[in-house]
Structure 1
Amino acid sequence: MRLILLGPPGAGKGTQAKRLEDKYGFIQLSTGDMLRAAVAAGSDIGKQAETIMARGDLVPNEIVVGIIAERISQPDAAKGYILDGFPRNVPQAEALDAMLEGRGAKLDAVVELEVDDGILLQRIETRAAETVGGPRADDNAEALAKRLKVYHEQTAPLVAYYKGKGTLRSVDGMKDMDEVTRQIEAVLGLSNKKGNWLKRLTGKK
């Protein structure tokens, strides 16, 4: 199963991706980790990325997509994967779709974690107040507000993009973690008899 978890910073995407990875064997693929691994491996595309990053420039979409293509070809991705940190905007989504189509594949689903920005900000303010010694510099309401603004400007349009393709599934990300996990399993068909084909695929019972 090829998945994307979509939602703003603080929505719990990382937690839910890890749960899916542990339970079903869908590996969580972080764009940053993949870039660093490609550079460390010294592959041709990794060398290109290293040169660009050394200049302080952003790695172009086509190179990031190429690195993703290399990574998902590895045996541990055969059961499925969850993309983390990509795509961040519609052009990146289009590039990803083109790459998958060229391999005779496509995304199975994009799961949106719907959350309330105001409650997210309240949560981080509470956490910051309770943190001994004070929060990290990037773990405060002001920093989160900036990240939320970027998300809504650049990434939120992906909701309409994937809805138009029929791959979007939405869950209530404001519920407790266990309930959000149950909702994700339900919309992916992992929690009922209709999902047996996925259980056979993953080897999980």
Structure 2
Amino acid sequence: MSPRLVLLGPPASGKGTQGRRLADDLGLAYLSTGALLRSAVEEGSTLGREAAPILARGEYLPDPLMCTIMADWLAKHPDGWVLDGFPRSIAQADFLSEWLAAKDRQLDAAILLEVPVEELLVRLGNRIECPECRWSGRPKDLNGAARCPECGGVTGPRADDTPANFRSRLAEYEENTLPVVLRYEQAGLLHRFDATQDPGAVAARLLDLVKSLKSHGQAA
């Protein structure tokens, strides 16, 4: 079977860039919970209306709502995926573990992207996203153009990329997600990566990791 992976890290650590690239390279389903929620807000869906004021405060959605969203997505993608932005809490990690156990499956790896706070702040002011396909990157990735390299949409800064929102998201990450990191580390599933390197170099190392898991029979 194809590997099942979760991508962890503080805001602006590169989860979107690396998660999408890894999924594309391996032919896996990819989910960015942040991108999914931002799309819902822009579309004005029921989920979007519920999520909008929470996201505007730089907070994450409550666990019951997030787990309901994930249950629906996982039911459609039972095998072979990269999850970016989930689980973000112990309750969410418990949900994912129980969902996998009920399917007689397991998580293959949890990948942690590590970046110093000072660099995260620099990245925050230099991050753009396509509202059409949710490609994310940096202005220099566009080679002087203003169009998304994936779909041709008009790119721009994310609406939630403000210093106040960043501080709020970082505080929530430290309080709620670092315990998830510790749990996966104790379970022998965690792989730490220095994500300050060139994105291409990080992507190559991530791909090597997953290939090594498969060659050793860990991805099942």
- Name the TM-score, length of structure 1 as normaliser: 0.70
Return closer, same or farther for 1:100/1:185 CA change in 2, 3 Å cut-off: same
- Given the alignment of the two structures, is residue 138 of structure 1 paired with residue 170 of structure 2, yes or no? no
8 Å contact from structure 2 (residues 12, 123) kept in 1:
no
Q: Which residue of the partner structure matches residue 18 of structure 1?
A: 20
**Equivalent position amino acid for 1:6 in 2:** L
Q: Which residue of the partner structure matches residue 72 of structure 1?
A: 74
d(CA) in 1 for partners of 2:162, 2:63: 30
Tell me the SS of whatever aligns to 1:145: helix
- Given the alignment of the two structures, is residue 177 of structure 1 paired with residue 179 of structure 2, yes or no? no
**1:49-198 to 2 correspondences below 5 Å:** 53=50, 61-62=63-64, 64-74=66-76, 77=77, 80-125=80-125, 138-189=160-211, 194=215
d(CA) in 2 for partners of 1:87, 1:108: 14
- Name the TM-score, length of structure 2 as normaliser: 0.65
Which is further off, 156-165 or 135-144? 135-144
Aligned residues: 181
Greater C-alpha radius of gyration: 1
Tell me the SS of whatever aligns to 1:106: coil
Return closer, same or farther for 1:126/1:13 CA change in 2, 3 Å cut-off: closer
Unaligned segments of structure 2, at least 5 residues = 41-45, 55-59, 129-138, 140-155
Give the superposed CA RMSD. Answer: 3.9
- Given the alignment of the two structures, is residue 2 of structure 1 paired with residue 24 of structure 2, yes or no? no
d(CA) in 1 for partners of 2:206, 2:187: 19
Quote the sequence identity (%).
37
Q: CA deviation at 1:85?
A: 2.2
Per-residue CA deviations over 1:157-189 (Å, capped at 9, x if unaligned) read 211011111111111111110111112112222
Q: CA deviation at 1:197?
A: 9.7
**Equivalent position amino acid for 2:181 in 1:** V
Tell me the SS of whatever aligns to 1:139: coil
Relative to its length, the structure with more helix (as a share) is: 1
- Larger RCO (CA under 8 A, 6+ residues apart): 2
Unaligned segments of structure 1, at least 5 residues = 38-48
